[in-house]
Amino acid sequence: MLGRGNPIQESQIDEKIGRAADSFWSAFQMMENGRVKSTLMLYSFCLCWVFAAVHGAAIALLIGPLHTLMAGAPVFLENLVTALVPAVLGTAVCSLTWRLPGDKRKLPAAYLWLTLLMLACLIALLVLLNGERGAQILALQFFGMFVLVPLVLGDGLSILLFYRYWKHKPPVKDMAELRKGP
């Protein structure tokens, strides 16, 4: 006989999850003065869509010429080049945002958002392809070549850049400077 858990514990867990969700979504709400509570979350979320478009454009523009260039090459080499070249180019273009003035956390946060969104898309795709083993394998190959490679490069580069910036940043002297931001 399958019994349900303790309803009191379940309601406490539901309340904790609800509070965490409210806390997360409240970062996107406006304050009394019309400003967003967390500009970093909002800017990085919007920037992740720009990054998705840049990576998508790099893939769309380069896949044909690379396929033609690699004609006759072993399939593994063709797949490797077809995955790496657009990923490197897209990551290079997206990493130019590092040079913009302002909060340096935007670049790694945008790639984190992009990673979360692509993971959600992958899960949704696999659920939609439930039972279609061949289609699931093909989707995973596509995801690995054209989504995972750019994400790994982008996440890795953005974390490396932010780590180097953070390591060499002078220490904060007082709370007023801390509130002002980088």
Domain boundaries, the chain: 38-168
pLDDT tens digits, 42-65: 889 999 999 999 999 999 999 999
Contact of 78 with 67, CB cutoff 8 Å: yes
φ, ψ at 102 (rounded to 5°) = 120, -160
Backbone torsions φ then ψ of 73, nearest 5 degrees: -80, 160
- Is residue 28 within 8 Å of 36, Cβ to Cβ? yes
In the chain, the percentage of residues whose pLDDT exceeds 70 is: 81
pLDDT of residue 146: 93
What letter would DSSP give residue 95?
A: G
